[in-house]
Homo-oligomer: A and B are copies of this chain.
Amino acid sequence: NAQDIQGPRFGKGILNISGKDSTWSMNFTTRFQLLGSGTWQENQDGGTDFNSNFLVRRARLKFEGFAFTKNLTYKLEIGLANQDIDGASYYTDYADKIIQDAYIQWKFYKNLSIKAGQAKLPGNIERLISSGSLQFVDRSLLNKEFNIDRDIGLQLLNEHYLTPTFLIREQLAFSQGDGRNVTVGNMGGYQYTGRIELLPLGIFKNDNEMEGSALEREDKPRLMIAVAYDYNDDAVNTQSNRGDFMGIEENLYQTDITTMFADVVFKYKGVSLLAEYANRSAEDAIAKDDQGIPTGDVVRTGNAFNIQGGYLFDSNWELSGRYTHVDLDQEVRSIMEENQYTLGVSKYIVGHNLKLQTDISYATFADQSDMVMARLQLEIQF
């Protein structure tokens, strides 16, 4: 129609806006995920318990671009789905946690940038990959247990070439350490995070190490090896800056929590591989009140390993597999060990922007009966 406005290609945003005199730009977009899942688990009577769940799993609005100078970029991302905005508490003014990202990034010298605001911390690769660009229906159990999510503070980013093809990226973060959308100020100490990424074989096309699968079909082998270290001084949550606040009467139990990650991404043609290791430890994992009596809260310490890979056919159908092993420390909970085997099939209709993914998982536990889980998810992002 005459009054139609021209938008970008599918998946490149809803609107690409360029401010007058090119003093700013904005890319605005939205996306949502529809998920259906079912689980089967043997119960104590020998029968099988079946549970199903239909969800609008995620729904987001995103604004990003540059302001004033191309060296000053920003991002505002908000969540709308109930699982995106839950977790209201005293610490968040009892209000929904709608804001995901809200930051400014300033490239102030060569490749050196500073990022201020609320953003993902430089933790494990699975968490850094957008939930809209995953290879399976959702992230692994390693991520669920150990990721360090978003926080508010400052981040310093750099990258440089060791050789003409060997790229190194460094990221340092100084954060409040209590999780996203906290309004009551810093509790306990601060959180310090570092991540270093080595790309010895050259950079990935369009930074596709930051998305699942092998949709860019690299002509040559591409590899990223990274380690991340996170120290949360006097942390007050059971999972560093996530999980539950460890309350003791009018106060919070505090203990130093260290989380470490190592991860590898490899891609070549239709093949993609991702492996991760995570480890969390705490100075004293058992929360105690002022009299030294355990409160029941415990820091979820332990370690986990995840490996996943897939092959993308020319038809943009993908077959993928994943193995995850989570081993929480014995003192922190009864379910100590879990293995999960997942088989996934994805049809990337318009890349990650319109895709249908299904996966089936088989999980074994140390102290309960095995579980089978099947999921089907549709993702649409403009």
Contact = CB atoms under 8 A, between A and B. Distances in A.
Interface of A: 1-10, 12, 14-21, 23-24, 26, 28, 30, 32, 34, 51-56, 59, 63, 67-68, 74, 76, 78, 80-83, 85-88, 92-99, 102-104, 116-118, 152-153, 175-176, 181, 183-186, 349-350, 354, 378, 380, 382
Nearest to A152: B54
Nearest to A9: B20
A30 B14 CA distance: 16
Contacts of A51: 185-186
A348 to B, nearest CB: 11
A102 B382 CA distance: 14
Contacts of A10: 19-20, 23-24, 67-68
Given A53-B184, A86-B183, 12 more contacts: A12-B20, A23-B350, A34-B117, A52-B176, A56-B99, A56-B117, A59-B78, A59-B102, A67-B350, A67-B354, A82-B95, A104-B380
Nearest to A16: B4
A341 B93 CA distance: 28
Given A83-B183, A185-B51, A5 B34 contact: no
Given A85-B98, A95-B96, A63 B30 contact: yes
B20 A3 contact: yes
Given A4-B16, A5-B5, A34-B117, A349 B68 contact: yes
B82 A80 contact: no
Contacts of A83: 93, 95, 183
